[in-house]
Amino acid sequence: MDIPRIFNITESAHRIHNPFTPEKFATLGEALRLEPGTRVLDLGSGSGEMLCTWARDYGITGTGVDMSQLFSGQATRRAEELGVADRVEFIHGDAAGYVADEKVGVAACVGATWIGGGFAGTIDLLAQSLAPGGIILIGEPYWRQLPPTEEVAKGCLAHSVADFLLLPQLIRSFGDLGYDVVEMVLANQDGWDRYEAAKWLTMRRWLETNPDDELAGEVRAQLTSEPERYSLYTREYMGWGVFALMAR
């Protein structure tokens, strides 16, 4: 069980696998008023930076689940590095359908809502692990500005303009599902740059040491095209944020 190998290659040096920075995760933790001992479930936890730093800074405990064996291993090592291995654990497994054995105060999926077929299904999944009065965290892309054509939307790696909503529409959709939006922290362009541009050096270094790998051609094609594609499309049209929800 693992994610496609291309992602393990391009994001192998990432600690955060979305457009957030460490400062943004710190802001989010502070905004949520996390109390020591709060249990957090993170589905699609990547390399574990959110859980590990929150355990260090706010005293939470928690569990992360991710399909990438590489990222799950990195998360475990990060917990040891920060001295919080006794407070957080990371499971290499499929987050789709995962329900915690013990109810949690915060149930999160920050950037992998495909596990529930979209944010609505992921909210339903997270709600099954949530204690009464708890908070759901959803990390989701949105359009900063509506792409003028389907070609532009595809340049943002969307299938179509309909794949994402404008920010006011996304917030309204949470209300339509029966949730109050009680907080939000949005990525900025620096965060997008750190997420996307950091892949390019990783790809170049990987190509230098793996010239004969079966994925070398695909990695070379991405390294050649991604800087221009990103600066032309994603950087101009895509937003991303984490939204804190409480059931009405």
Mean pLDDT of 82-107: 97
| pLDDT tens, position by position, 1-57 | 799 999 999 999 999 999 999 999 999 999 999 999 999 999 999 999 999 999 999
> Tokens standing for 86?
């006794």
Percent of the residues in the chain that have a pLDDT greater than 70, as a whole number = 100
Mean pLDDT of 185-202: 98
| pLDDT tens, position by position, 126-173 | 999 999 999 999 999 999 999 999 999 999 999 999 999 999 999 999
CA-closest candidate to residue 49, choices 11, 21, 7: 21
Q: How close are the terminal C-alpha atoms of the chain, in Å? A: 37
Query: pTM here?
Result: 0.96
Q: Spell out the domains of the chain, with CATH numbers in brackets.
A: 5-145+164-187+240-247 (3.40.50.150)
Handedness of CA 26, 32, 37, 42 (dihedral sign): negative
Mean pLDDT of the chain: 97
Q: What are phi and psi of 107, to 5 degrees?
A: -115, 120
